[in-house]
Amino acid sequence: MSDAQGLKAYVERQIEKELERCRKKHGPENWALHGEWVTAYVVAGAKEWLERQASEGKL
Protein backbone atom coordinates (compact mmCIF):
# COMPACT_ATOMS: atom_id res chain seq x y z
CA MET A 1 0.00 0.00 0.00
CA SER A 2 1.37 3.40 -0.95
CA ASP A 3 1.54 6.32 1.46
CA ALA A 4 -1.31 8.02 -0.43
CA GLN A 5 -3.48 4.91 -0.19
CA GLY A 6 -2.71 4.58 3.50
CA LEU A 7 -3.59 8.22 4.13
CA LYS A 8 -6.82 7.86 2.16
CA ALA A 9 -7.77 4.76 4.14
CA TYR A 10 -6.94 6.53 7.43
CA VAL A 11 -9.07 9.57 6.57
CA GLU A 12 -11.96 7.39 5.41
CA ARG A 13 -11.85 5.47 8.72
CA GLN A 14 -11.84 8.70 10.70
CA ILE A 15 -14.81 10.02 8.72
CA GLU A 16 -16.74 6.80 9.32
CA LYS A 17 -15.95 6.87 13.04
CA GLU A 18 -17.19 10.45 13.31
CA LEU A 19 -20.33 9.73 11.31
CA GLU A 20 -21.09 6.71 13.50
CA ARG A 21 -20.67 8.89 16.60
CA CYS A 22 -23.04 11.46 15.09
CA ARG A 23 -25.61 8.80 14.10
CA LYS A 24 -25.67 7.50 17.66
CA LYS A 25 -25.96 10.97 19.15
CA HIS A 26 -28.72 12.12 16.78
CA GLY A 27 -30.75 8.91 16.75
CA PRO A 28 -32.45 7.46 13.68
CA GLU A 29 -35.25 9.99 13.33
CA ASN A 30 -33.05 13.07 13.70
CA TRP A 31 -30.32 11.50 11.55
CA ALA A 32 -32.86 11.01 8.75
CA LEU A 33 -33.52 14.76 8.86
CA HIS A 34 -29.96 16.01 9.35
CA GLY A 35 -27.61 13.24 8.23
CA GLU A 36 -26.94 14.71 4.81
CA TRP A 37 -25.65 18.07 6.03
CA VAL A 38 -23.79 16.49 8.95
CA THR A 39 -22.02 14.17 6.52
CA ALA A 40 -21.11 17.10 4.27
CA TYR A 41 -19.77 18.99 7.31
CA VAL A 42 -17.64 16.04 8.45
CA VAL A 43 -16.20 15.52 4.96
CA ALA A 44 -15.46 19.25 4.61
CA GLY A 45 -13.66 19.16 7.96
CA ALA A 46 -11.56 16.22 6.81
CA LYS A 47 -10.62 18.08 3.62
CA GLU A 48 -9.63 21.14 5.64
CA TRP A 49 -7.48 18.96 7.91
CA LEU A 50 -5.75 17.38 4.89
CA GLU A 51 -5.09 20.79 3.32
CA ARG A 52 -3.70 22.15 6.59
CA GLN A 53 -1.47 19.14 7.10
CA ALA A 54 -0.19 19.40 3.54
CA SER A 55 0.46 23.15 3.79
CA GLU A 56 2.44 22.57 6.99
CA GLY A 57 4.53 19.91 5.21
CA LYS A 58 3.23 17.13 7.44
CA LEU A 59 2.04 14.94 4.54
C-alpha 32/C-alpha 19 separation (Å) is 13
Range of the structural domain that residue 46 is part of: 1-59
The total number of structural domains in the chain stands at 1
Q: Which of 1, 18, 22, 45 is nearest to 9 (CA)?
A: 1
Task: For residue 4, name the pLDDT band (cuts at 50, 70, 90).
Answer: confident
Write out pLDDT tens, residues 9-45: 999 999 999 999 999 999 999 999 999 999 999 999 9
DSSP state of 14: H
At residue 49 the predicted structure's pLDDT band, cuts being 50, 70 and 90, is very high
